[in-house]
């Protein structure tokens, strides 16, 4: 992969942490198993029980909108 582009591949959250976007993850092509905030692969490689927790949290945040 080429150099990351801010606003496209990542952004900084209010705490100053770099957050990778779903677009970046799609370009990467797989779930890394780290439980990334914008994982478009439904956390496929995250071990249980963490995977179920992340999916539940994602569902709650989507229900707000």
Name the pTM for this structure: 0.81
Q: Which residues contact 20 (CB under 8 A, 6 or more apart)?
A: 9, 10, 36, 37, 38
% of the chain beyond a pLDDT of 70: 92
Q: What is the pLDDT of residues 30-61, one digit of tens each?
A: 999 999 999 999 999 999 999 999 999 998 87
């Amino acid at each position: 992969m080429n150099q990351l582009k801010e606003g496209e591949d990542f952004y900084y959250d209010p705490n100053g942490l770099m957050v990778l976007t779903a677009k970046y993850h799609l370009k990467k092509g797989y779930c890394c198993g780290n439980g990334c905030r914008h994982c478009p692969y439904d956390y496929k490689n995250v071990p249980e029980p963490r995977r179920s927790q992340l999916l539940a949290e994602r569902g709650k945040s989507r229900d707000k909108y």
